[in-house]
Structure 1
Amino acid sequence: MSKLSFNILNGFEKGNYFSRILRGISANMLNQLINILNKLALVPFFISNWGTRTYGEWLVVTSVVSYLALTDMGGTNYIINKLTQSFSMNREKEFRRVLKTGVTIFLILSTLITLMAIIAVKFLSLNSLLSLKYTNSYTINIVIVVLAFQVSLSLLLGLIIGTYRSIGYYAKSVMFSNLIQFLQLISVFLVLVLKKGMVAVALGQLSPLILVGVYVVWNLNRDIPKLNIFSFDEINFKEGISFFVPSFNFFMIQMSQLLVTQGTVIVVGKMLGPTAVVIYTLARTVINIVRQVLGMVMNSSKPEITRLDIQEKDSELANLFKQITQITLVCGCIVGLILHFYGETLYGLWLNNTVAFNQHLIDSLLFYILLMTFWFGFADFLMAVNRHKHLSVVILISSTLNVIFATLGANIVGLNGVVLGLIVGDLVLACWFIPYLALKYKPIMNLKTIIKQISLLLIFLLNIVFNNIFMGIITLIILMYIFIINITTNNKVTARFR
Structure 2
Amino acid sequence: MTIVANIFRSSVANAIGIGISAFVQLVSVPVLASAWGPEVYGTWLMLTTIPTYLALTDLGFVQAATSDMTMKSAKGEKQAIVQIFSSVFALFVAFAVIVNVVVAAAVRIAVLADVGWVTDYQLYLHMLAFYSSLTLLSRVNLAGFRANGMYAAGTVSYDTLVLCEGLLTLLVVTLHGGFAAAISTMIVGRLLNMLLLYALLRRRLPWLSYDMEAVSWAELKRLFKPAVGGMAIPVSLSFTLQGTVVLVGAVISPAAAAIFTPVRTISRIAIQLVGIVNRATMPEIAHTLAKGDRRKISQLVLLNCALAVFVLVPAGIVFGFFGDRIVSAWTRGIIQPDRIFVAAMAVSMVLHGGWYLVSNMLLATNSHGDFSKIMILSAPLTVVLVYIGASIGELTGVALATIACEAFCVAGALFALRRTPFNPAYERMASKKDNLGR
Instruction: State if a TM-score over 0.5 links the two structures.
Output: yes
The change in CA–CA distance for 1:94 and 1:423 in structure 2 (over 3 A counts) is same
Q: Which residue of 1 aligns with 2:11?
A: 22
**Distance in 1 of aligned mates of 2:96 and 2:213:** 20
Equivalents in 1 of 2:24, 2:48: separation in Å? 16
- Structure 1 position 151, deviation (Å): 1.9
Distance 1:212 1:170 in 2: 17
Q: Counterpart in 2 of 1:178?
A: 159
Classify the secondary structure of the residue corresponding to 1:243.
helix
Q: TM-score, normalised by structure 1?
A: 0.70
Deviation at 1:393, TM superposition (A): 0.8
Instruction: Say whether the 8 Å CA contact 2:355–2:413 is kept in structure 1.
Output: yes
Stretch moving more, 407-416 or 182-191: 407-416
Greater share of helix: 2
Alignment of 1:236-315 (within 5 A): 236-261=216-241, 283-315=263-295
Q: CA deviation at 1:216?
A: 1.9
Larger deviation, residues 37-46 vs 308-317: 37-46
CA contact (8 A) 2:324 2:337 kept: no
- Does residue 101 in structure 1 map to residue 82 in structure 2? no
The aligned residue for residue 421 of structure 2 is 442
Q: What is the Cα deviation at residue 271 of structure 1?
A: 9.7
CA distance in 1, matches of 2:79, 2:317: 51
Q: 1:376-409: per-residue Cα shift (whole Å, max 9, x none)?
A: 4222211111111111112233555667777898
After superposition, the C-alpha distances for 1:250-278 in whole angstroms (9 at most, x for unaligned) are: 22222233444577779989999999888
Aligned to 2:55: 69
C-alpha distance in 1, partners of 2:284/2:243?
34
User: Could you list the per-position Cα deviations for residues 179-217 of structure 1 after superposition, in whole angstroms to 9, with x for gaps in the alignment?
Assistant: 322222343355456656655443322223222322222
Residue 125 (1) aligns with residue 111 (2): yes
TM-score if structure 2 supplies the norm length? 0.78
**CA-CA distance at 1:19 after TM superposition:** 1.5
Preserved contact between residue 347 and residue 357 of structure 1 (Cα < 8 Å):
no
Correspondent of 1:35 among 3, 13, 24? 24
Amino acid at match of 2:196: Y
Aligned-partner Cα distance in 1 for 2:361–2:377? 19
Question: Could you say if the C-alpha distance between residues 219 and 279 of structure 1 is closer, same or farther in structure 2, counting changes exceeding 3 Å?
Answer: closer
Distance in 1 of aligned mates of 2:152 and 2:30 = 25
Q: State the distance in 2 between where 1:16 and 1:366 align.
A: 33
User: 1:217–1:349: structure 2 CA closer, same or farther, 3 Å change rule?
Assistant: closer
Q: Which amino acid aligns with 1:162?
A: A
CA RMSD of aligned residues (A): 4.2
**Aligned AA (2:418):** L
Query: Aligned partner of 1:211: which letter?
Result: L
Give, in angstroms, the shift of residue 173 of structure 1.
2.2
In the alignment, residue 179 of structure 1 is paired with which amino acid? T
C-alpha offsets along residues 261-310 of structure 1, whole Å, 9 cap, x if unaligned?
57777998999999988876665444233333333332232222222222
What per-residue deviation string (whole Å, max 9, x for no partner) do you get for residues 141-195 of structure 1?
4x55444332212211111222111112222222232232222234335545665
Letter in 2 for 1:95: I
Q: For the residues of structure 2 that align with 1:422 and 1:186, how far apart are their CA atoms?
A: 31
- The answer on whether the counterparts of 1:72 and 1:155 sit within 8 Å (CA) in structure 2 is yes
Distance 2:353 2:252 in 1: 28
The equivalent residue for 2:187 is 206
Aligned residue number for residue 453 of structure 1: none
Q: Which has the larger radius of gyration?
A: 1
Q: Which amino acid aligns with 1:440?
A: R
The aligned counterpart of 2:98 is 112
| Aligned-partner residue type, residue 184 of structure 2 | L
Q: Which amino acid aligns with 1:96?
A: V
Question: Identity across aligned pairs (percent)?
Answer: 21
Distance 2:65 2:147 in 1: 10
1:387 aligns with 367
Identify the residue that residue 3 of structure 1 maps to in structure 2: none
The number of residue pairs the alignment matches comes to: 424
| Cα distance between partner residues in 1 of 2:316 and 2:373 | 30
Aligned CA distance change for structure 1 residues 36 and 93 (closer, same or farther; 3 Å):
same
Answer whether contact 1:322 1:444 (CA < 8 A) is retained: no
2:148 to 167, 171, 180: 167
Please list the CA deviations of residues 2-36 of structure 1 after superposition, one character each: whole Å capped at 9, or x if unmatched: xxxxxxxxxx6697233124323322223323432
Separation in structure 2 between the aligned mates of residue 434 and residue 368 of structure 1, nearest angstrom: 15
- 1:64 Cα shift? 4.2
Give the whole-Å Cα distance in 2 for the aligned partners of 1:30 and 1:275: 27
Q: What are the ranges of 5 or more consecutive residues in structure 2 without an aligned counterpart?
A: 426-438
Aligned to 2:428: none
Show CA shifts across 1:424-480 (max 9, x none). Answer: 6665x544453243233234699xxxxxxxxxxxxxxxxxxxxxxxxxxxxxxxxxx
2:139 pairs with 1:158: yes
Asked if the contact 1:34–1:181 (Cα under 8 Å) also holds between the matched residues in 2, the reply is no
Question: Aligned partners of 1:46 and 1:335: how far apart in 2?
Answer: 31
Distance in 1 (alpha carbons) for counterparts of 2:392 and 2:35: 43
Do 1:45 and 1:192's aligned partners in 2 also have CA atoms closer than 8 Å?
no
C-alpha distance in structure 2 between counterparts of 1:194 and 1:424, whole Å: 43
